Amino acid sequence: MEIGKVTVLGAGLMGHGITQVTAQIAKYDVYMRDIKQEFLDNGMRMINDSLQRFLKKGEMTEADINQVLNRIHPTLDLKEAVADADLIIEAVTENPELKKKVLAEADAVAKPDAIIATNTSSISITELASATKRPEKFAGMHFFNPPQLMKLIEVIKGAKTTDETLNAVVEVSKRMGKEPVIVKKDVAGFVVNRVLIPALNEAVGLVDQGVATPEDIDKAIKLGLNWPMGPLTLLDYVGLDTTLAITEVMQKEIDQKYQANPLLRQMVRAGLLGRKTGKGFYDWKK
């Protein structure tokens, strides 16, 4: 199937980045849809900020930026966004019920041969596909944050996803400049989070037990395992609430061993979510 027009549902943290990559690297026309004008304005502001950084680094010209912006069409109108899209990427908040609602609405107005993909870090692809009438044309596209810089994409096969759909999504991912990894079984956490989340949870356990300071734990993992960023800094970037949500899904779907450390839960209750609230394991207000 030839992909010509792409739609991204959601202009937030991930949605705006996916939109930018689709327009900037893959050079598709892309409709970015959200439910409030302020969300769209904020998404466009973040895209502009990111493009300006590429300009400052000398990686883009003003003419390049204008071309990218001309390919992006922000809209509040779902029908306008979806009606003749070949690929629809849902990128709303990591909440199963909300995702299903948005997916069902998009499915109802999308053309019959359109592929629908969901950007999720932990929710079952098969479960989300069930909200549509096209589970065979449905797949997971797990982008990593920020999508403008991170090369990896996990392409996940749901129970009914056809090989044709999977191949089309892999090709689009490559055109976006990504390195796709195919997840052949729809399991919670896919590949990266299956390895990462227990590691992050253990790092929280080390803080909880007073084994070492967050700074020293991060330093040890960066220098000892060659991670570009320590686990506690990474937690603050990802968001402690997001991480807790993923541990809960993995605990429920796979095994009790994925249970969140009590300190992680306590910090989420206290609103210490990391960078987005100004404080997590580190003080970001400085």
Per-residue pLDDT tens for 221-272? 999 999 999 999 999 998 999 899 889 989 998 999 999 999 999 999 999 9
Q: Please, are residues 46 and 145 in contact by the beta-carbon 8 Å criterion? A: no
Residues 84 and 198: their CA atoms lie apart, in Å, by 42
Proportion of the chain above pLDDT 90, given as a percent: 92
CATH topology of domain 193-275: N-(1-d-carboxylethyl)-l-norvaline Dehydrogenase; domain 2 (1.10.1040)
Question: Mean per-residue pLDDT for 127-151?
Answer: 95
Write the pLDDT tens digit of every residue in 109-137. 999 999 999 999 888 999 999 999 999 99
User: What residues contact residue 184 under an 8 Å CB cut-off, 6+ apart?
Assistant: 157
Domains 5-183 and 193-275 share a fold: no
pTM score:
0.90
pLDDT for position 249: 87
Write the pLDDT tens digit of every residue in 202-223. 999 999 999 999 999 999 999 9
Residues 130 and 236: their CA atoms lie apart, in Å, by 33
pLDDT of 13 over the 90 cut: no
Catalytic residue numbers? 121, 142, 154, 193
In degrees to the nearest 10, what's the CA dihedral of 31, 32, 35, 39?
-150
What are the sequence ranges of the domains in the chain?
A: 5-183, 193-275
Closest CA to 154 of 131, 123, 112: 123
Sign (positive/negative) of CA torsion 232, 235, 236, 240? Answer: negative
CATH superfamily of 5-183: NAD(P)-binding Rossmann-like Domain (3.40.50.720)
